Amino acid sequence: MNSRASLACYPLSVMDLNFKNMRRIRNAAELIMMLLTIACTPDPLPVKNIPVLKSEMVVASQVLTDQSVIVMLTKSIGALDAGKDSDLQNLISRIIVEDAIVTITYGEKTDTLRYLGEGLYGSIDLPIAPGQSYALRASSPSNGEVSSNTKAQEAVPFKTVEASLYKEQSDSLAQIEYSLTDPPGKNFYMINIQRFSITQDLSSLINPRIYTHLVTDENFDGQVFEEKFNVLFQRYHLNDTVVVSLTNISEDYYQYMKVRVDNRFSVTSFATEPFNYPTNVTGGYGFFNLQKPDFRVFVLK
């Protein structure tokens, strides 16, 4: 019986990085831990001799602007450590990785990321260029070392995009209508939708409720593509502010996100080691990804 939980980050969707504003991130981490705790409290079973598996680092990353990058490092924990009587503050302190040296190498340059607190490492001076390869290395005295390589994709912006309120019986949903001009060749797209406020800060980095919609261009290669879809399983209200983002992602990252989307309502996604998740991280879990999103903000009408 493999009884272990991993805390990996969902794709990041913030409009404005403020390195000095860290106050709310702990509240979001506590939310994730509560979800994890609920998911990991079945009736006790008389299981003995469960092997203690080695904790591994979990990597997530996001490009915020042409030169602003965030990498978040957490670590996997045993599901038995997240019972109903667990101390949340203690668990949070065990999840984040605080002592790593994190570097990203591109061309002949190496950028050492600044530690921002709460497991976040960032740079505001790392140029993201399409076709450029980037090598991540994170070395932690207490958690070992992970490495990864990725290549930046060509950014594809929205051609048009609108977000509105859609009434369906007793539910109020957000409806997204957008178009894009697809470059020739195989492309994979990720559209993220989440609520937004002027006080929003780095807590968004670990928000497990971001809605993700994935699209491939196999049926519209090199053409203008238009689509309309509803943001399901989340209730919205009149005058809610939402952020809609479009990112042209790699095929490997698309496969990783597809598994995440397929499992987003599964309790087991919080309670088992993600052995079935694709990864480009050596020595750990998660995904190192440097693709620039196109962000748009809407008030639902």
> What average pLDDT does range 183-210 have in this prediction?
73
> What average pLDDT does range 14-40 have in this prediction?
43
Joined tokens for residue 111: 């950028």
The reported pLDDT for the residue numbered 259 is 86
Q: Decide if 15 contacts 206 (C-beta within 8 A).
A: no
- What is the C-alpha to C-alpha distance for residues 181 and 185, in angstroms, rounded to an integer? 12
Q: Is the pLDDT confidence value at 22 over 50? A: no
Model confidence at 233, pLDDT cuts 50, 70, 90, reads confident
3-state secondary structure of 109: strand
Number of C-beta neighbours around residue 40 at 10 A: 23
pLDDT in tens, 129-154: 999 999 999 999 999 999 999 999 99
Q: To which H or E segment does residue 33 belong?
A: helix 25-39
Average pLDDT, the chain: 78
Residue 292, phi then psi, degrees to nearest 5: -85, 125
Largest CA distance in the chain: 58
Bridge-based pairing of strands 285-286 and 57-63 is: parallel
Q: Is the pLDDT confidence value at 252 over 90? A: yes
Q: Alpha helix (H) ranges present in 116-273?
A: 251-262, 268-271
- Write down the residue that tokens 């178009």 correspond to: 179
Q: Decide if 231 contacts 173 (C-beta within 8 A).
A: yes
Q: Decide if 62 contacts 205 (C-beta within 8 A).
A: yes
Q: Where are the domains of the chain?
A: 4-299
Joined tokens for residue 249: 């992602």
Model confidence at 33, pLDDT cuts 50, 70, 90, reads very low
